[in-house]
Amino acid sequence: QVQLVQSGAEVKKPGASVKVSCKASGYTFTGYYMHWVRQAPGQGLEWMGRINPNSGGTNYAQKFQGRVTMTRDTSISTAYMELSRLRSDDTAVYYCAKGIVVVPASPDPHSDYWGQGTLVTVSS
Amino acid sequence: NFMLTQPHSVSESPGKTVTISCTGSSGSIASNYVQWYQQRPGSAPTTVIYEDNQRPSGVPDRFSGSIDSSSNSASLTISGLKTEDEADYYCQSYDSSNVWVFGGGTKLTVL
């Protein structure tokens, strides 16, 4: 069965960077986009971007351009999301979510599996 | 920028039917698929409707989705409400740049 297992909670100081991992199993990792979505406390869902695990190609939401980097390690079926220059309003739960279309087809309209989420707290 | 607008909250009694709307800001909401996610406190979202009106396996047929082009909106309807349906519900679609767009979420209270 498909599983996305994310790394544990992080506490970071303003200005630092955080890297969250998402280990996939139960399907062909390089076959489907991996999306990243975040949710601030008490707030809604916000799409950050996606990575094509086969090619490494990325698409980022304009809001995060220049601060976010999505990568992958195909040898261990793991996707990563790194966010730099952290601010207090980056405090959120970060989710990875598997897309449904086979890469490189587009658009990828939605996800069918989500990771359990990783809480990132930014505080001095 | 393309946006999706949902009511902040809705409430209904057990056994009744509730409908949650999701209105597109521009263009035709019917042009791209709309999905609906359920999120219980402390948990990741799960899909209850995908591609406008499709139910994943395991989702009861009490959940249904529809598109109304005249109002440029999508709707999630839950019939025979159960207390376990109490959750936040998010609609989601995508724009011409393949950016996922989420509605602000609707808190469903079953009382």
Identify residues of A whose CB sits under 8 angstroms from chain B CBs.
35, 37, 44-47, 50, 59, 61, 95, 100, 106-112, 114-117
pLDDT in tens, A18-40: 999 999 999 999 999 999 999 99
- pLDDT classification of B48: cutoffs 50, 70, 90: very high
Are the Cβ atoms of A110 and B92 closer than 8 angstroms? Answer: yes
pLDDT at B30: 85
Q: By the CB < 8 Å criterion, does B98 face chain A?
A: yes
Pairing of strands A118-122, A10-12: parallel
Pairing of strands A58-60, A32-39: unpaired
pLDDT in tens, B72-99: 999 999 999 999 999 999 999 998 888 9
CB B81 within 8 A of CB B32: no
Are the Cβ atoms of B35 and A110 closer than 8 angstroms? Answer: yes
pLDDT in tens, B54-69: 999 999 999 999 999 9
Q: By the CB < 8 Å criterion, does B7 face chain A?
A: no
Work out the minimum CA distance from B51 to partner chain A, whole angstroms. 8
Distance of CA A9 to the CA centre of its chain: 14
- Answer whether residue B27 shows pLDDT above 90: no
Q: Which amino acid is at A61?
A: A
Q: Which of B46, B94, B102 sits opposite A109 (nearest CB)?
A: B94
Q: Region B17-25: what's the mean pLDDT? A: 96
pLDDT in tens, A74-114: 999 999 999 999 999 999 999 999 999 999 988 989 999 99
Show the beta-strand stretches assigned E in chain B: 4-5, 9-12, 18-24, 35-39, 46-49, 63-68, 73-78, 87-94, 100-102, 106-110
Work out the minimum CA distance from B102 to partner chain A, whole angstroms. 6
Cis peptide before B60 (omega within 30 of 0): no
Helix, strand, coil content of chain B in percent (nearest 5): 10, 45, 45
**Helix or strand (DSSP H, E) at A51:** strand A45-51
Q: What's the whole-number average pLDDT of chain B?
A: 95
Angle at A5 between CA A87 and CA B104, to 5 degrees: 50
DSSP letters, A60-122, are E-GGGTTTEEEEEEGGGTEEEEEE-S--GGG-EEEEEEEEEEETT-S----EEEE---EEEEE
**CA separation for the pair A2, A117 (Å, rounded):** 15
